[in-house]
Amino acid sequence: MYLCVTPKNNEIFRDLSFSKSYISDCLEIVFENAMIINPINAFWLRSFADFRFAQEKHADALTLYMEACLVCSESFTRSFPDNVVDDILWRKIQQCLRKLGMVTLAAAVSQLLRMPYDNHLTNAKALLDSHGDTFDACTAYFPLINDINLIEFMNDVYEKLRLHRKSNLLLNSLAVPEMNAHNITHLERFRRGERLLLILCSQIFCIYL
């Protein structure tokens, strides 16, 4: 928004027109300088990630989101602060993963949301739309899932797509004493959640665990 002065009567009026490219260039400079001055500031990383997300540069946004998560939790050694990591961030991470063809991993990430249940239908639709073709490790992520409801949604999708092998492998991931529909131990839930974060970083940062 610019303030313009007419030469005729010096009357100030508001011109609601603006240049998106100019604003984008300014923000680009701001964020690049921020990364030079303080590359481990979680708020700058999150903001830069949101900027890349708005530009539909999903791979870059995904990297920046996970860097923000790493920084604010001191490499996952403490809880995520609410003012940096929230459900909006995890949903954007999911969208980035889906855009990059990693729909199975995106479904697993829904477990990191505070309110994951509303997200299950979105995961199921994404899996259906993929017809079982993904660019992620797919079945290798099944042991990371601790949400029984998510497993039921995913299993229903695989049955509809007649992907019986994937369905069997998914159900086999439940076949451990710590996992059952009535009592998932806190330790097993924590172990799978922690492993999910490590695998997510491994996938995004190309680190071999």
For the stretch 50-70, pLDDT in tens is 999 999 999 999 999 999 999
Distance CA 189, CA 179 (A): 9
Please check whether residue 94 lies inside any domain of the structure. no
Q: How many other CB atoms are found less than 10 A from the CB of residue 120?
A: 18
Please check whether residue 202 lies inside any domain of the structure. yes
pLDDT tier at 116 (50, 70, 90 boundaries)? confident
Please check whether residue 16 lies inside any domain of the structure. no
Domain count of the chain? Answer: 1
Please check whether residue 4 lies inside any domain of the structure. no
Please check whether residue 165 lies inside any domain of the structure. yes
Distance CA 106, CA 121 (A): 13
79 close to 51: Cβ distance less than 8 angstroms: no
Distance CA 13, CA 151 (A): 58
Q: What sections of the chain are H helices per DSSP?
A: 20-37, 42-54, 58-72, 87-99, 103-109, 120-130, 148-160, 164-172, 186-205
Please check whether residue 126 lies inside any domain of the structure. yes
Please check whether residue 99 lies inside any domain of the structure. no
40: helix, strand or coil: coil
Per-residue pLDDT at 22 exceeds 80: yes
> pTM of the entire structure?
0.84
Please check whether residue 54 lies inside any domain of the structure. no
Show the domain range for 147: 116-208
pLDDT tier at 191 (50, 70, 90 boundaries)? confident
- Sign, Cα dihedral of 14, 16, 22, 27: positive
